[in-house]
Amino acid sequence: MVQGDLRLADPGQDLDVDVIADPDGTVADRGDPVEIAGEANGRTQVQLVTTPGDGIGSLKSAPAVDDGDYAAGEVAGKGTALAQGPVDWYEDASGGAVSPGDLVVLTGTGVRAYDSAGGDTPDMILGRVFATGTRASAETANKVAVLRHH
């Protein structure tokens, strides 16, 4: 399989996510910008953007919550985010060292973490890891899903 030949989502499609409380205990609502915060039980977790430039898009649907009821990192419920770019599966050339939300670059053998200290430049960034092998099937084993910037 050629890198990126197995598409998880097209731009504008819904991405199923778990919405978690940010470090202040605030839960993103519909239309709020979100960033990838992690992954658990085979689902990508998102929270309100805490770092400028880390947003992946906005929530299309969000759980009905009372912010006062959630601690930082606690799952508030299921939601959907709109894919701003394509999400494709790529070989994990990092040996499992990349996590959801990490910036990655494409190499001849797959994707690895972006390394500015190692000489990587921003124009080399392919996108952010959306999901890891926890969602793997026979077709996606040893791969990571990347929400591409371009």
- In this prediction the pTM is 0.86
Could you report the per-residue pLDDT of 41-82, keeping only the tens digit for each?
Answer: 888 999 999 988 888 989 999 998 876 689 999 999 999 999
**Does residue 136 contact residue 145 with C-beta atoms inside 8 Å?**
no
At 2, the pLDDT band (50, 70, 90 cuts) reads: very low
**Position 90 pLDDT exceeds 70:** yes
Q: For position 139, what pLDDT does the model report? A: 73
Could you report the per-residue pLDDT of 9-47, keeping only the tens digit for each?
Answer: 888 889 999 999 999 999 999 999 999 999 998 889 999
Query: Which DSSP letter does residue 66 get?
Result: -
Q: Which of 16, 26, 32, 130 is nearest to 73 (CA)?
A: 26
**Does residue 3 contact residue 106 with C-beta atoms inside 8 Å?**
yes
Could you report the per-residue pLDDT of 128-149, keeping only the tens digit for each?
Answer: 999 987 665 667 778 899 999 8
- Whole-angstrom CA distances from 96 to 47, 48, 73, 112, 143 are 23, 26, 23, 9, 9
Q: For position 136, what pLDDT does the model report? A: 58
**Position 1 pLDDT exceeds 50:** no
The fraction of the chain above a pLDDT of 90, given in percent, is 65
The two structure tokens encoding residue 42 = 């085979």
**Residue 33 CB burial class (10 angstroms; 0-12, 13-18, ≥19):** middle
**Position 108 pLDDT exceeds 90:** yes
Residues 6 or more apart whose Cβ sits within 8 Å of residue 65: 27, 76, 77
Residue 134, Ramachandran bin (φ over 0: left; ψ between -120 and 50: alpha; else beta): alpha
